[in-house]
Amino acid sequence: MRKIFFLLLILLLSCSRNQIEQRKDYIVASNYPLKLIIQEIAGDTGIIHCLVPPGISPHLFEPKVSDIQKLENSKVVFYASNELEGWLTKNIQNKIALISLLPKDKVKFMPDGKTLDPHFWTDPMTVYSLVDTLTNVLATYFPQSSNKFIQNAQNFKNKLIELDKELQELLAPVKNRYVFLYHPSFLYLISRYGFNYGGSIEEIPGSEPTPLQISKLVQKIKETKTKAIFSEPQLNNYTAKAVAEMAGVELYELDPLGSEEIKSYSELILKNAKTLVEALK
Ligand SMILES: [Zn+2]
């Protein structure tokens, strides 16, 4: 009887130890594009959990108790910046803002000129400038995989250069067009590929525009002879529809975050670039 008891105890202890080790093996990426980027370098090392579910804006997300537990039990948490994921800054120790790993001259500002623009992933070459630092950081958490990370990082950088070339060609016919967004989520891409930023319905996500702001925006859409404006699946489509109607333009959808059916970072960016061409050509 005693023997069985000890056997059970050993079994129980080894199970819980395994669970703890497994738990400590995973990485949290706050949003889906960050998961796609980290996955390119990490490959099959560690499991990457995406925290903010598809369809929800990271600006407006509120973590549940189970999310906080997931964060606390992870090996490391990657997020974009305090501007995007302010809810993450409290109590979570093992977190790294990817924007802090970017070279200083690559970081852009929101239209107010003061707030850091967290949506760096919309430009592949900004992502390129992050890859080596991110690879080193990942290697400190998973030293046994560091050689594999270096190899994966090189492959990813090659893919990013190819993607940049493809985008230059694809977007050339609509270069210099004005882009009106739901919120300033694509400024990195807009600036890299030579678009003009027209404005956004919500300059600060979650804060509804006033009637005066809307009428100024409508006027600018008309003045610039822009053919289409863009909504986003995570934000209020109703206002976007109303603005498009008032300005007499088409409404298309850009998605800075993507969802599970998008399998790679390149796929996410190309999908949006194709929408820009279709809408503005
Ligand atoms: Zn945003």
Q: Mapped to the 3 state alphabet, what secondary structure does the chain carry?
A: CHHHHHHHHHHHHHHHHHHHHHHCCCEEECCHHHHHHHHHHHCCCCCEEECCCCCCCCCCCCCCHHHHHHHHHCCEEEECCCCCCHHHCCCCCCEEEHHHHCCHHHCCECCCCCCECCCHHHCHHHHHHHHHHHHHHHHHHCHHHHHHHHHHHHHHHHHHHHHHHHHHHHHHHHCCCEEEECCCCCHHHHHHCCCEEEEECCCCCCCCCCHHHHHHHHHHHHHCCCCEEEECCCCCHHHHHHHHHHHCCEEEECCCCCCCCCCCHHHHHHHHHHHHHHHHC
- Shared domain for 150 and 252, answered yes or no, is no
- Shared domain for 120 and 209, answered yes or no, is no
Distance of CA 147 from the midpoint of ligand 1 (Å): 34
pLDDT attached to residue 24: 67
Q: Of 167, 182, 216, which residue is a domain's last?
A: 167
Distance of CA 248 from the midpoint of ligand 1 (Å): 26
Distance of CA 48 from the midpoint of ligand 1 (Å): 21
- Shared domain for 68 and 127, answered yes or no, is yes
pLDDT attached to residue 129: 98
Task: Kindly state whether residue 11 falls inside one of the protein's structural domains.
Answer: no
pLDDT attached to residue 227: 97
Distance of CA 119 from the midpoint of ligand 1 (Å): 6
Task: Kindly state whether residue 13 falls inside one of the protein's structural domains.
Answer: no
Tell me which residue range forms the domain holding 184: 170-280
Residue 127: CATH number of its domain: 3.40.50.1980
Distance of CA 132 from the midpoint of ligand 1 (Å): 25
- Shared domain for 209 and 108, answered yes or no, is no
Task: Kindly state whether residue 10 falls inside one of the protein's structural domains.
Answer: no
Distance of CA 234 from the midpoint of ligand 1 (Å): 10
Distance of CA 184 from the midpoint of ligand 1 (Å): 7
Task: Kindly state whether residue 224 falls inside one of the protein's structural domains.
Answer: yes
- Shared domain for 121 and 207, answered yes or no, is no
Q: Total structural domains in the chain? A: 2
- Shared domain for 157 and 176, answered yes or no, is no
pLDDT attached to residue 235: 87
Per-residue pLDDT of the chain (281 residues; tens, 9 = 90+): 555 544 444 444 444 444 444 456 799 999 999 999 999 999 988 899 999 988 899 998 999 999 988 898 899 999 999 999 988 877 788 999 999 999 999 999 999 999 999 999 999 999 999 999 999 999 999 999 999 999 999 999 999 999 999 999 999 999 999 999 999 999 999 999 999 999 999 988 878 899 999 999 999 999 999 999 999 999 888 999 999 999 999 999 999 999 889 999 999 999 999 999 999 99
- Shared domain for 135 and 217, answered yes or no, is no
Distance of CA 84 from the midpoint of ligand 1 (Å): 7
pLDDT attached to residue 50: 94
